[in-house]
């Protein structure tokens, strides 16, 4: 049972219509949503229903394989694109495809687990199409997020700081416990923030994604799935780069129905070697820089090496990283 005394309620996020020019009124509702939730919706994003249906069909074929087959891609294999059950949670398993060459990343995994060469080819093409389309979307949305910070900030900062971003996606399948009905709900993925600049999430019709309010004593709110809608959430890297002007969302997945759930999360990230430092204009005259410049990879390593749950996402945030760094510096200067 999910332990939370707070009332759970449905959240009405603003929807950004990507087929229309950005209006000042949508910008202000996006800005508000980013501050309170770190989440907003996008519609008319140009990704077809068929593509989602094909991804679902592929995912079911992959996740329905026997564990021995899937583990050929698991953490002890050389490919490491499959996260089995009992790492993030007993009910969660995940498959990762990395850009920029989504085709070869997908193909390397597919060849290990599927024998049929026709299917392999189709799967590879489809996952590549998804990766490429998401990459274009992520660029567009990052520019919109920069516009929220200030007029013209997209043209001023995109090329300097975001031009070398890269993306990867995870297809997640949640299989609830068989006794779910006795418990009413259980956690499928624990509370976390994403280690990305932005994340674009597709969740199927089952629902279960929740975000923690930054007000209302941290109440959990349901992000209800809607056909044709994708959700965008701000990740820790953009939070640090924007000096907390855009804040990453604390979210989780709860399972309330006795059926499998599927989601696809596309993570748009800075390059590993990038030194993340909020520009003066973003910090502004009245604020202080909240994060000393840090190397992106150091933060990713900090998250990966956290023992709790042994899954890179569950647990700590960029705030904990800063505290940890400060403590280390203090210890070094004392000793
Ligand atoms: O399954 C979902 O809806 C969200 C997954 C998620 O938050 C993640 O993979 O980081
Ligand atoms: Fe997430």
Q: Is 172 in the pocket of ligand 1 (CB under 6 A)?
A: yes
User: Which of 37, 52, 189 has the most ligand 1 atoms within 8 A of CB, as the residue to mutate?
Assistant: 189
Instruction: Report how far ligand 2's centroid is from the alpha carbon of 334 (Å).
Output: 37
Strands (E), the chain: 9-10, 15-17, 39-43, 82-83, 92-98, 166-174, 186-192, 198-203, 209-212, 220-222, 230-234, 251-255, 261-269, 275-276, 294-295
Sign of the four-CA dihedral 130, 133, 136, 138: negative
For residue 188, the ligand 1 atom closest to its alpha carbon is 1
Q: How far apart are CA 321 and CA 300, in angstroms?
A: 10
- At 8 the pLDDT is 58
* pLDDT at position 308: 45
pLDDT of residue 313: 46
With a 6 A CB cut-off, is 252 part of the ligand 1 pocket?
no
State the ipTM, two decimals: 0.99
Per-residue pLDDT of the chain (335 residues; tens, 9 = 90+): 665 545 558 888 999 999 999 888 889 999 999 988 999 999 999 999 999 999 999 999 999 999 999 999 999 999 999 999 999 999 999 999 999 999 999 999 999 999 888 889 999 999 999 999 999 999 999 999 999 999 999 999 999 999 999 999 999 999 999 888 777 899 999 999 999 999 999 999 999 999 998 877 788 999 999 999 999 999 999 999 999 999 999 999 999 999 999 999 999 999 999 999 999 999 999 889 999 999 999 999 888 765 444 555 455 677 777 765 665 654 555 55
Instruction: Tell me the three state secondary structure of residue 218.
Output: helix
| Cβ–Cβ < 8 Å for 84, 74 | yes
The residue whose two tokens read 């994708």 is 230
- Residue 185 CA to residue 91 CA, distance in Å, equals 12
The H-or-E segment that residue 126 falls in is helix 117-149
Bridge partners of 266, per DSSP, are 169, 200
């Amino acid at each position: 049972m999910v332990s939370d005394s707070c009332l759970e309620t449905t959240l009405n996020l603003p929807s950004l219509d990507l087929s229309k020019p950005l209006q000042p009124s949508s910008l202000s509702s996006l800005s508000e949503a980013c501050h309170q939730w770190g989440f907003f919706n996008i519609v008319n994003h140009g990704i077809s229903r068929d593509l989602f249906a094909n991804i679902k069909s592929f995912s079911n074929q992959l996740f329905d394989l026997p564990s021995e087959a899937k583990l050929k891609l698991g953490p002890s294999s050389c490919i490491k694109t499959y996260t089995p059950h009992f790492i993030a949670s007993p009910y969660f398993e995940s498959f990762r495809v990395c850009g920029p060459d989504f085709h070869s990343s997908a193909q390397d995994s597919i060849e290990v687990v599927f024998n049929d060469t026709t299917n392999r080819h189709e799967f590879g093409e489809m996952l590549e199409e998804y990766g490429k389309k998401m990459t274009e979307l992520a660029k567009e949305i990052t520019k919109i997020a920069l516009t929220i910070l200030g007029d013209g900030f997209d043209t001023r900062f995109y090329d300097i700081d975001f031009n070398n971003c890269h993306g990867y996606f995870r297809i997640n399948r949640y299989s609830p416990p068989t006794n779910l009905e006795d418990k009413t709900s259980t956690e499928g993925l624990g509370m976390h923030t994403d280690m990305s600049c932005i994340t674009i999430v597709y969740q199927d019709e089952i629902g279960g994604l929740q975000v923690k309010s930054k007000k209302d004593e941290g109440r959990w709110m349901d992000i209800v799935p809607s056909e044709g809608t994708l959700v965008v959430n701000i990740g820790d890297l953009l939070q640090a780069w924007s000096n907390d002007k855009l804040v990453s969302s604390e979210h989780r997945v709860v399972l309330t129905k006795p059926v499998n759930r599927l989601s696809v999360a596309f993570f748009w990230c800075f390059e590993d070697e990038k030194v993340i430092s909020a520009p003066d204009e973003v910090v502004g005259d009245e604020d202080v820089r909240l994060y000393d410049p840090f190397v992106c990879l150091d933060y990713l390593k900090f998250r990966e090496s956290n023992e709790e749950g042994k899954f890179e996402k569950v647990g700590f945030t960029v705030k904990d990283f800063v505290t940890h760094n400060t403590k280390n510096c203090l210890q070094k200067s004392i000793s």
